[in-house]
Structure 1
Amino acid sequence: MTTATLTLKDEFPGLSDGWHYLDTAATAQKPQAVIDATVNALGRDYATVHRGVYARSAEMTLAFESARRRSAAFVGGAEEEIVFTRGATEAINLVAQTWGVANLKAGDRILVSMLEHHSNIVPWQLLRERTGVEIDVCPLTAEGAIDLDAAEAMLTPAHKLVAFAHVSNVLGGVLDVRRAADLAHGVGALLLIDGCQAAPRIALDMAALDCDFYVFSAHKLYGPTGIGALWARKALLDAMPPWQGGGAMIDRVTFEKTTFAPAPQRFEAGTPMIVEALGMAAAMDWLAGVGLDRAERHERELAAKLRDVLRKRNDVTVFGPEDSVGIVSFAIDGVHPHDLGTILDEEGPDGQRVAIRAGHHCAQPLMDHLGVPATARASFGLYSDESDIEALLKGIERTRRIFG
């Protein structure tokens, strides 16, 4: 364990001695810088935004819109292309219920993949019920990555949208987004990318990726819950109708007619997530300061080490591509993942406890494809180190002894 890692881990008050947190893919622990920014926003600096004429309200408005600019810079976009949402799930639903309803009809098709999170499946099914669009499912390669060769063969001019995960929340594989964009655009379709697992560990550049919609959640990237963002091309946002009505998203209201604010404000009805936006911006600043390249390299190395050790066991099945980033899903013969997770959370003889995720990870179609009801998932963050892997392996050995 290096001094740099120790120093970084010390920035996270939620990481107590003897507790090894390997559930970062579900939600990341928060560094003190984010906690401080959130506390100050909720206390010392708190005021409403976009409404008050008094000084603190004006200052908070500037801070709130600065958070939008910082969010745009984080993904390599422009501030007028960032819509604040409650998270990636709401961002996908926003696209489905605005762009989708306005542009899709019976006979049109949407392509998703076998490994998608439910949040990138269910909104399109709801849209199907409303508009009659059809949904196709792209298969995976033998290694567990989205099969872009298969996608190329499946895509037709009837496809209007492709919706893929940048990084699988179960398998950790990384999508070649630029190739996916080229394939989608080649048939006239748009590309939506679920970036929840990519944003905390891969440097983003919307121009280089060339997608049309990109969504992410703050709590995955060391920020607060309850906020995320939709990035979308400005021309698309300008053409999309609002999906919720209320304050802040209007230009002028009369009982006869209402006109709406320009994008992105058109999609942010009501008092916004002020505190959360400032917390998300602080998390992005912190993460950018540490370095996304460092994050990706660090988490790839840890995932590779864990995969290598687990693969040597004859009672463990490891899922996903060899080059997965930050996420390792596996199953132990004769041990249900829930039992493993429960035993790992019990304090061992050395006083260590390990937190992993056990279940279907909101990816039940993928579990069906893998032929298992659930998997155990260890997921890393910038604060993770080899001691976490060691504690997990000791916990697995303890579990095997319990199960004989």
Structure 2
Amino acid sequence: MMVPKVVLVGAGSVVFTQGLLADLFTFPELRGAHIALHDIDPERLATAEAVTRYIAGRRGADPKVSAHTDRRAALADADFVINMVQIGMVEATRTDFEIPARHGLSQTIGDTLGIGGIFRALRTFPFLKALGEDMTEVCPDAWLLNYTNPMAMNVQYVTEATRLRRVVGLCHSVHWTMHDLCALVNAPFDEVDFVAAGVNHQAWVLKFELDGENLYRRLDALVADDPQLRRRVRVDMYRRLGHYPTETSEHSCEYVPWYLHHPAEIERLRLPVGAYLGIVEENMTEYERTRDALAAGTGLPVEGTMEYAPQIIHSIVTGTPRTVYGNVPNRGLIENLPAHGTVEVPCLVDRSGILPTRVGPLPPQLAALNRAYLSVNDLVVRAALEDEPRHIRHAAMADPATSSALPVEQIWQLCDDMVRAHADRLQPGLRATLGT
């Protein structure tokens, strides 16, 4: 059995690194793995290394641990590369919220679609291209397991802009949606038969059964009896579309034109405008607590997070078959969505790798929403691949939430303001301001 080399790129995202390592070292076969940590921030990298050694000790693992500020050195001979970078960190995220807010545009999370998602992608693409080129040269057979958002845009870009083919995007939304839905309808998660498919953060629960019983009927009864349940965006969408979306209300409201630019809907559905800024601040605080606890020798909690990357690594290394949900190029997996778009589908994993499963067509109302999402993605990717700044504006014009809130001239002005603010992180050909 191989002893894998697992590279964590952006390992300074220490809170996420903790969860991944706690999961990874749960498996006895992976406790001797080579864990290579990469980050450009020396302090965060040192904290990540200390966290790795601490969690290994608590889990009874004896990995080889190396820490690198040089990415190529970290990647050399890797078997698995886990990407979790956030380009621009807190400063860029604040920009993603503050400038659109000055134009009257409300966002809650801003990491997948909308102005926040568009510009998060554009400042991540240069990094992804460099990462892909490095991997092609120093670890061409490695799997790239991507956690960085916007997931679907990033997976589409890296598969079109580089020669990497072993690429899958990973997100916990399907797992935790089903976990929570099962608890809500009082059904044992391990016994429920479910299938979900669509796009990342806007996939749909297509099958939800227990011993042949359609559990949606239990959910319908709960929703009918509980007015507070009806004050959730994802429940509102479920009632109208017939299938439950696989991401939180805070996420789901941003991908459709119906909610965020109506103050009455924001109140009715309790939408936390700007919520992600608080999440980012809490992540910073949690990082500082972790760093200080390690320095003081007071210890850390070691808790697994049920993430897919450690399960995938274990399955490929040991041959243990599993089903996970992955974000991959469509190529006919969902036949009424664009073939070149990135879709989220069940994937079989074993020693041979990751095999996406064909789902067939989505119900037409679901496919219509997913196609709008994928149209925005494609324009953002085309902007980068073709060095065409007009496509940034075209993506914003096509975005459901942005186009429902702002007139077209203001959309272009907003894009100019965002380009100016993020210019140093964009590829040079996209830094132009165009006016109208």
Higher relative contact order (CA 8 A, sep 6+): 1
TM-score normalised over the length of structure 1: 0.27
Query: Which has a greater percent of helix?
Result: 2
